[in-house]
Structure 1
Amino acid sequence: METQSYKNHIRFYPPHHFVYYPIVMGFIIVSIYFAATTSDTLIWSFVAAIFVVLFCLAFMIRQHYALTLQNRIVRLEMRYRYFTLTNKRYEIIENEISDEQLFALRFASDEELIPLIDKTLSQHLSGSEIKKAIVNWKGDYSRV
């Protein structure tokens, strides 16, 4: 498996990204084509609208469930790592760090995490700035 970094940390879910979505998009295009070229415009427009709704719903539901669960797990992981490294409760500073910052900090190695948290709190770094500041990237190969 390739070592994870800022440039390659985005992952795809092949059944959705490369099978389901292209098929639904194909059906949408075919439905719009038939709506424009046949006398059954109303029926084909309705079919196209159904496929558009299915496309949007599938994307939203898949993303919502996966991201909600992943966010909870990352928060728990960060609480555990912070406590393990500092012997202090993470909840003390949790409200000062945004979700974007927290999700970027998880990629920091244990050696970099505490100094990077301190830098984030003092300089209000964005998630992207945090990721770019990480020298020893701790890959997350299990996320959805």
Structure 2
Amino acid sequence: MARESQRFENHTKMVPGFHYVGSALLVVLLVWALWRLVTDPSLDHGMMLLLVVFLALLGWYVRIFPLGVQDRVIRLEERLRMERVLPDELRPRIAEFTTSQLIALRFAPDDELPDLARRVLAGELHGRTEIKRAIRTWRADHERI
């Protein structure tokens, strides 16, 4: 099955079972546990609320920890790509890019990267969204989490 062409408008990844179903079930459990504790205070109902809070924290960290690793990998990949693609005068400045800027620049094709890198280093482009919107030809990343 062919993948949909990736661009700024559709590049975010949502996993329905995790983002919608799991989150909705967790909210229902939280409301139910709070209601049970308020209407019939007991150690069991307090423990149920603690369990739901634990599950919420677990769900948060299960998502955030892999994203942190992914950010580190992207940072390394983009620095290596910049060493190969950027002109000599920009290579010494690769360390000046923030992780957030490198994450946004990963969507730029090799031929657009030098100009975008110059603009980022000059302060013309700041955040991820602004950098991504400046990309003319999107370089898809279908492997991210």
TM tier relative to shorter chain: 0.7 to 0.9
Preserved CA contact (<8 Å) 2:107 2:141: yes
- The residue type paired with residue 70 of structure 1 is Q
User: Identity percentage over the alignment?
Assistant: 30
By how many angstroms is 1:78 displaced?
1.0
Report the counterpart of residue 17 of structure 1 in structure 2: 19
By how many angstroms is 1:106 displaced?
0.6
Report the counterpart of residue 104 of structure 1 in structure 2: 104
By how many angstroms is 1:46 displaced?
2.9
- Gaps of at least 5 residues in structure 2 are none
Q: What per-residue deviation string (whole Å, max 9, x for no partner) do you get for residues 39-61 of structure 1?
A: x4443133113201221222123
Q: Quick one: distance in 1 between partners of 2:80 and 2:95? A: 16
Classify the secondary structure of the residue corresponding to 1:107: coil
Q: Quick one: distance in 2 between partners of 1:76 and 1:34? A: 49
Report the counterpart of residue 32 of structure 2 in structure 1: 30
Report the counterpart of residue 45 of structure 1 in structure 2: 46
Give runs of ≥4 in structure 1 deviating > 3 Å.
none
Q: What per-residue deviation string (whole Å, max 9, x for no partner) do you get for residues 11-54 of structure 1?
A: 1233422333322222212112222333x444313311320122
Q: Quick one: distance in 1 between partners of 2:113 and 2:94? A: 14
Q: Quick one: distance in 2 between partners of 1:124 and 1:100? A: 15
Q: 1:91 to 1:23 in 2, by over 3 A?
A: farther
By how many angstroms is 1:94 displaced?
2.7
Q: Quick one: distance in 1 between partners of 2:99 and 2:86? A: 21
Q: What per-residue deviation string (whole Å, max 9, x for no partner) do you get for residues 50-108 of structure 1?
A: 201221222123312x12221122122212322332476x8732321111111111111
Written as runs of structure 1 = structure 2, the 5 A alignment for 1:83-122 is 83-86=83-86, 92-122=92-122
Q: What per-residue deviation string (whole Å, max 9, x for no partner) do you get for residues 92-144 of structure 1?
A: 32321111111111111111011110111112521221111111011111111
TM-score between both structures, scaled by the size of structure 2: 0.82
Q: 1:87 to 1:123 in 2, by over 3 A?
A: closer
Report the counterpart of residue 78 of structure 1 in structure 2: 78
What is the number of equivalent residue pairs in this alignment? Answer: 142
Report the counterpart of residue 2 of structure 1 in structure 2: 4
